[in-house]
């Protein structure tokens, strides 16, 4: 299937239409941004690595009953996905305090949370993706009551599946961000799941194996992304 028009160019991906209205092609770039675009850079081969990791995790989730937009891998940097309409919502699930939660609540990074925390953010670059709750989601008309409930339950199930999977691979799933889209009236998990959108810590050493290496100038960024790829049994 060939790419037609570019419908969207984001920080890390481009989305193209295809001759079939049912599908989009998603292309993963090496560009990296942080702090709402204030920090910019590239991570060598990130696009290839994130394409593979996302494909693998979407398949893992599908196997466990989660409906996603993923159809198949097309090339090193491209995957075929269902033509979803993305909801302007970022769903963050946290198992351990880190990043903005640690800062906001004055918790030491690494503090185990007594139960997973789910946060909703309004996806809006100009506003810096402000945190909202499900009343805002309904008031803004982003989703209805049943849909929000479905999104929250699905996100917590995704957390359980991914957490159980990664701990077997010696990796702690600290937190992650999900996006959902509507396709044919159905809510599907969409976007990507990768070291760009998750915090992964090595279970033995505590080493950060995700985008925090880029955000915080910790070095060995590409190596960290490759390490996650290798833990899921894949190579570049
Ligand atoms: N996250 C994203 N995109 C965003 C904001 C956060 O993928 O625009 C992910 C981070 O990678 C982290 C989690 O895994 O959501 C929580 O981020 P933070 O709120 O602690 O910065």
Report pLDDT for 1: 84
| Domain range for 152 | 85-220
Q: Please tell me whether residues 105 and 122 are part of one structural domain.
A: yes
Q: Please tell me whether residues 68 and 97 are part of one structural domain.
A: no
Distance from the CA of 168 to the center of ligand 1, in angstroms? 23
Q: Please tell me whether residues 136 and 49 are part of one structural domain.
A: no
Ligand 1: lining residues by beta carbon, under 6 Å: 90, 92, 98-101, 129, 175-177, 197-199, 211
Q: Which of 30, 64, 82 is the last residue of a domain?
A: 82
Q: Which of 40, 60, 82 is the last residue of a domain?
A: 82
User: How far apart (Å, rounded) are the C-alpha atoms in residues 100 and 87?
Assistant: 22
Q: Which residues, 6 or more positions from 230, have their beta carbon under 8 angstroms from its beta carbon?
A: none
Q: Please tell me whether residues 44 and 121 are part of one structural domain.
A: no
Q: Please tell me whether residues 30 and 78 are part of one structural domain.
A: yes
Distance from the CA of 104 to the center of ligand 1, in angstroms? 14
The enclosing domain of 139 has a CATH number of 3.30.470.20
Question: Residue 226's closest CA among 187, 200, 203, 192?
Answer: 200
* Number of domains within the chain: 2
Q: Please tell me whether residues 74 and 96 are part of one structural domain.
A: no
Q: Which of 82, 116, 143 is the last residue of a domain?
A: 82
Question: Residue 139's closest CA among 164, 118, 119, 122?
Answer: 122
DSSP E strand boundaries for the chain? 6-9, 13-17, 23-28, 31-34, 39-42, 70-73, 78-82, 85-86, 89-96, 112-122, 131-132, 171-183, 186-190, 198-202
Give nearest CA residue, ligand 1 atom 6: 177
Which numbered atom of ligand 1 lies nearest the CA of 212? 11
Is 231 a domain residue?
Answer: no
Distance from the CA of 1 to the center of ligand 1, in angstroms? 32
Q: Please tell me whether residues 11 and 89 are part of one structural domain.
A: no
Give nearest CA residue, ligand 1 atom 13: 176
Q: Coil, strand, or helix at residue 236?
A: coil
Q: Please tell me whether residues 93 and 206 are part of one structural domain.
A: yes
Is 17 a domain residue?
Answer: yes
- Between the alpha carbon of residue 236 and those of residues 64, 191, 223, 226, the distances in Å are 26, 21, 11, 8
Is 74 a domain residue?
Answer: yes
Per-residue pLDDT of the chain (236 residues), as tens digits, is 899 999 999 999 999 999 999 999 999 999 999 998 899 999 999 999 999 999 999 999 999 999 999 999 999 999 999 999 999 999 999 999 999 999 999 999 999 999 999 999 999 999 999 999 999 999 999 999 999 999 999 999 999 999 999 999 999 999 999 999 999 999 999 999 999 999 999 999 999 999 999 999 999 999 999 999 999 999 98
Pocket test of ligand 1: the residue of 53, 175, 210 to mutate, having most ligand atoms within 8 Å of its CB, is: 175
């Amino acid at each position: 299937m060939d790419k037609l028009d570019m419908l969207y160019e984001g920080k890390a991906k481009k989305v193209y239409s295809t001759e079939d209205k049912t599908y989009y092609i998603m292309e993963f770039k090496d560009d990296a941004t942080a702090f709402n675009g204030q920090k910019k850079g590239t991570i060598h081969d990130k696009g290839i690595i994130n394409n593979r990791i996302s494909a693998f995790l979407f398949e893992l989730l599908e196997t466990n009953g989660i409906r996603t937009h993923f159809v198949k891998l097309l090339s090193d940097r491209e995957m075929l996905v269902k033509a979803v309409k993305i909801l302007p919502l970022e769903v963050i699930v946290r198992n351990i305090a880190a990043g903005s939660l640690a800062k906001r609540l004055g918790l030491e990074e690494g503090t185990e949370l007594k139960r997973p925390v789910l946060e909703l953010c309004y996806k809006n670059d100009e506003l810096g993706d402000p945190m909202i709750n499900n009343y805002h989601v309904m008031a803004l008309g982003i989703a209805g009551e049943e849909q929000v409930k479905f999104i929250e339950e699905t996100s917590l199930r995704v957390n359980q599946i991914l957490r159980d999977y990664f701990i077997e691979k010696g990796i702690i799933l600290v937190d992650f961000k999900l996006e959902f889209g509507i396709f044919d009236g159905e809510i599907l998990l969409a976007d990507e799941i990768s070291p760009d959108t998750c915090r992964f810590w090595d279970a033995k050493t505590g080493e950060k194996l995700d985008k925090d290496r880029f955000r915080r100038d910790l070095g060995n960024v590409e190596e960290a992304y490759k390490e996650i790829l290798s833990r899921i049994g894949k190579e570049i």
